[in-house]
């Protein structure tokens, strides 16, 4: 059964066009087409997280975990606990 997920979240508290947009679609065969787009003013980064077998699924999970780890380390470096 095909499924879809889509979400767009603005990143600034009040104004601005910075956002994160995520999407996942699954077809009836289990293939997942997924991606994240992050924009800030006129800059954009798009990451793809597609998978269709166990090997690519493991790599996609690894990629997402590495991104989360790095963002957490970046936050800790930017805002160290005192």
As given in the structure block, the two tokens for residue 45 are: 């980064």
Instruction: Select the more confidently predicted residue: 32 or 68.
Output: 68
Band of residue 46 on the pLDDT scale cut at 50, 70, 90: very high
Domains and CATH numbers, the chain: 3-78 (3.10.450)
Q: Compute the average pLDDT of residues 2-24.
A: 93
Average confidence score pLDDT of the chain:
91
User: Following CA atoms 30, 56, 62, 71 in sequence, which dihedral angle do they give, to the nearest 10 degrees?
Assistant: -70
Whether the per-residue pLDDT at 34 is higher than 90: the answer is yes
DSSP single-letter state for residue 43? E
Whether the per-residue pLDDT at 27 is higher than 80: the answer is yes
């Amino acid at each position: 059964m095909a499924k879809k997920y889509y979400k767009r979240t603005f990143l600034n508290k009040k104004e601005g066009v910075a956002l994160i947009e995520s999407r996942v679609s699954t077809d009836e065969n289990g293939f997942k087409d997924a991606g994240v787009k992050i924009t800030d003013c006129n800059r954009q980064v798009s990451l793809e997280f597609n998978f269709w077998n166990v090997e690519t699924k493991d790599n996609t999970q690894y990629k997402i975990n590495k991104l989360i780890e790095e963002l957490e380390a970046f936050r800790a470096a930017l805002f160290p606990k005192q």
